[in-house]
Amino acid sequence: MIMDNQTKSDILGQVARPPVRSGPKIKGSFKIPEEKLKEPLYYDGTVVRCFCFGCGISTELLSEGAMHLVKKAEADVPLSWEGFYFICEQCIICAKDFKRAVFKKS
């Protein structure tokens, strides 16, 4: 049995990907949820959070992702990730990669 795309989406549903943002600086589009950034991490293996001004999403990162962002932020790797977080203008959810990452201590 061959189904067309409309029939598949009627049966299975579909999820829309957030639009990719580009253009001018968007800092200030969302307020940093400072209390959320201080909460314990939820997912196993994650070491730090990143908050995106572009889409307003706070993401938990594994050590590989955190190391990638430390390089982008041109920061030093801390001995412990506890008490640190990143902010960025765009992330891998709303764009292809993290843009203008900043490493901060809470």
Confirm whether 34 is domain-assigned.
Answer: yes
Confirm whether 95 is domain-assigned.
Answer: yes
Long-range CB contacts (< 8 A, 24+ apart) of 14-18?
Answer: 18/55, 18/93, 18/94
The length of the chain is 106
Number of structural domains the chain divides into: 1
Q: How far apart are CA 2 and CA 20, in angstroms?
A: 33
pTM for this model (two decimals)? 0.69
Q: How far apart are CA 75 and CA 79, in angstroms?
A: 13
Q: What is the pLDDT of residues 13-65, one digit of tens each?
A: 666 655 555 444 444 457 777 788 788 899 999 999 999 988 888 889 999 99
pLDDT of residue 24: 43
pLDDT of residue 26: 47
Q: What is the pLDDT of residues 56-98, one digit of tens each?
A: 888 899 999 999 999 999 999 999 999 999 999 888 888 888 8
Q: Can you give the residue range of the structural domain that contains 89? A: 24-105
